[in-house]
Amino acid sequence: MTALLASSTYTDVMRTASQDDVCEVTCLHPEAVELARTHQPADACLEDAAAFLKLMADPTRLKILSALKTTELCVCDLAAVVGISESAVSHQLRLLRTGRIVTFRKEGRIAYYRLLDHHVTTTIRNALDHATE
């Protein structure tokens, strides 16, 4: 699998299916099914979590978040780091702020952005670490 990952993208690997990864017979393990069912989050929680992950799933937003993982930055600095216009950065930050992924503070006329909390930082770090394995 490691050789396959090295020569292919993660998306390509996820699309590859074989008969080895499906059950050959239909059987249920009632105790395991019940345990998994009782530990399922509420539907509203799942919807919120999916929306959170979708916001991070955009490469431009992930670049912004990766930069903010390092330090607090203003829109001008983020535009320079990411290589897009300040207007485009502002648009992405508005989405991230609405999604409770980033927050900001004003100092005079400058808005400094940072990641909202350690959950966001950990999620970004884990996603990037996983992608580099």
Question: Where do the domains of the chain lie, and which CATH numbers do they carry?
Answer: 43-131 (1.10.10.10)
Q: Residue 23: which pLDDT band, with cuts at 50, 70 and 90?
A: confident
Mean pLDDT of the chain: 88
Single-letter amino acid code for the residue at 10: Y
23 vs 70, residue with greater confidence: 70
pTM of the model: 0.77
Q: Residue 14: which pLDDT band, with cuts at 50, 70 and 90?
A: low
Between the two ends of the chain, the Cα-to-Cα distance in Å is 12
Please give the average per-residue pLDDT across 21-28, as a whole number. 80
Closest listed residue to residue 72, CA positions, set 32, 34, 107, 37: 107
- Supply the pLDDT for residue 8: 52
Please give the average per-residue pLDDT across 81-94, as a whole number. 97
SS (H, E, C) the chain: CHHHHHHCCHHHHHHCCCHHHCCCCCCCCHHHHHHHHHCCCCHHHHHHHHHHHHHHCCHHHHHHHHHHHHCCEEHHHHHHHHCCCHHHHHHHHHHHHHCCCEEEEEECCEEEEEECCHHHHHHHHHHHHHHHC
pLDDT at 128 over 80: yes
- Supply the pLDDT for residue 26: 80
